[in-house]
Amino acid sequence: MVTTQADWSLDFDIGMNFFEWHAPVPLAHEKQVFDRALKFLLKLQHGSPVRRFNWTMTVNPLLDTSPETYPVWGPDRTTVTPDNMGDKMHLRVELQALFRLPRSNAICFSIRAYLGKFGELVTVPKWGRRLHRVVRDLHPDLAAYKGFLRNRDAMVAWLAQYDDGAPTSPGIWPEEG
């Protein structure tokens, strides 16, 4: 069952092999990311699930941004302005888990999606700084793949007001102070 895919389509991808499915991901093939990922998945053991995070951006708090629902959410990408950026733009973080199933030896892939409104994320100074730097410094091909190239310059300009240039500590927790 698929309920919250972000910019991909199970109907389109069904029947593809691992490399075909991931073909649209820029830069990763040259770095052989998927060769290593496939080797890792093939060694996944029953009883030892793994988790990873993925992220993207979305306009408005929508979980299903699949190609099939593009007529619903696609036009919203043109409605982002500096005045509504904090309310409309959302960071989507996915907690993805992979479980080897005991009887079939298949891999179950689950995705739990979380959405954070820009206006709320920047209330934690460390997160505002980090979000600005990631959006600003991300390779343009990856920004296009993640679907926010159209609004990237406006996002960088809006987020810049929350980046004081201070160093940012590792990890997700707010700075202690």
CA distance 62 to 142: 21
- Which pair of tokens denotes residue 142? 């990856």
- Which pair of tokens denotes residue 81? 């302005």
Contact 96, 130 (CB under 8 A): no
Q: Which residues are CB-contacts of 90 (< 8 A; sequence separation ≥ 6)?
A: 57, 58, 59, 60, 61, 115, 116, 117, 118
Measuring CA to CA, which residue among 131, 49, 51 is closest to residue 95? Answer: 51
Helix, strand, or coil here: 6? strand
CA distance 158 to 147: 18
Catalytic residue, candidates 36, 51, 52, 112: 52
Judge whether 129 counts as a catalytic residue.
no
Catalytic amino acids? 52
